[in-house]
Structure 1
């Protein structure tokens, strides 16, 4: 069953096999103006993601059929960069890191506040819509980033980044040479405080570097402090 979205919100795919949780997520997202399509197993969730092209997917990790992480892996293998938020029943760093390495934008650990989940959906959606005109194209080292078009090239080759990976790189490249702590990056890019775990930042930085290839040196680690972008 699908709820129709407001024009500026879009459709969110929720793949969750626990009906009360799925109903709660649907309730809060529809209240906020999002359309919602719910699936209760991984196979139908993957089919819906490919068929409906949602603006964002909320995926439980443990599902009947294929897992949420496998859904994400297959979408990324198809060059589908739909933003993904994982739901996990365990506060297990291994689960979170694996999910982020597969290209997820964020994760929420059960039990969670539905208001917090909606806030994260809104934040990712807002970032993925792009930046209004007036933002200059940024070039640092061999990397060029266009905030308005949300495109990145490294050594003149296009680079496919998730919404969160793009925003992390954009934030670092706005002020080359400025060193940001992990806590500052969590607050500015993800929009929440350090209790979420700074390992999230490290994993995303590693993913961005891997995608930049030989231009990865544009992101420099400042030991004991955080990260900076420089040429």
Structure 2
């Protein structure tokens, strides 16, 4: 995961951001003012900074300039919705600009996008990806847009099998033998029920297709 610095003077907002970014495993630090932020920037190495422009003491623009100089990706958080402010920050080197109040899911998604663009996200060993789904095979966890999704052991095994074979039609006989370890029984609806659950929990209704009289196909991620 990534090492992220929150530069925000409002405790309630900082706490919400910290909770949402800690869930997927990011290491989150916080500076409540510009001076402390500048100190941390010099002492630590960060993969991303979330910067509130309206800070006490040292201005947010000053901190933004230093972050850009240190080549730390920046997402600006601000109550200023004026397009002029947004353009100015982006021209100064910010990677994204989010206006307050913000949606937590939108924030986490934008963080993931910026980290992927800069390729500084520390991916867990053995991690698998399919669109906005990440499977951490070491921790046996599944994240959807940064949010943990609870799966049963067989749902997890089935998801891994589908992702490993994305783009290929998988016959029910192969799914039964590989995931469940027994021969396929046409009267047994276990596979179909588990597929329905995966579609619902992970938003795979359109991507995980039924191939009539054969099995299932998880579309290629591209």
TM normalised by structure 1 equals: 0.50
* Partner of residue 127, structure 1: 117
Mapped contact 1:16–1:63 kept (Cα < 8 A)? yes
- 1:120 and 1:49 map into 2 onto residues whose CA distance is 22
* Partner of residue 40, structure 1: 32
Structure 1 regions of 5+ residues with no counterpart? 1-8, 131-231
- For the aligned residues, what is the CA RMSD? 1.2
1:115 aligns with 2:105: yes
- Tell me the matched-pair count: 120
Q: CA deviation at 1:109?
A: 0.1
Q: CA deviation at 1:75?
A: 3.2
* Partner of residue 96, structure 2: 106
Mapped contact 2:67–2:74 kept (Cα < 8 A)? no
Q: CA deviation at 1:49?
A: 1.8
- 1:127 and 1:85 map into 2 onto residues whose CA distance is 13
2:11 to 19, 22, 27: 19
Mapped contact 2:75–2:96 kept (Cα < 8 A)? yes
Q: How does 1:87-106 map to 2 (within 5 A)?
A: 87-106=77-96
* Partner of residue 83, structure 1: 73
Mapped contact 1:88–1:95 kept (Cα < 8 A)? no
TM normalised by structure 2 equals: 0.52
- 1:113 and 1:13 map into 2 onto residues whose CA distance is 19
1:194-219: CA deviations, max 9, x gaps?
Answer: xxxxxxxxxxxxxxxxxxxxxxxxxx
1:139-164: CA deviations, max 9, x gaps?
Answer: xxxxxxxxxxxxxxxxxxxxxxxxxx
Mapped contact 2:38–2:63 kept (Cα < 8 A)? yes
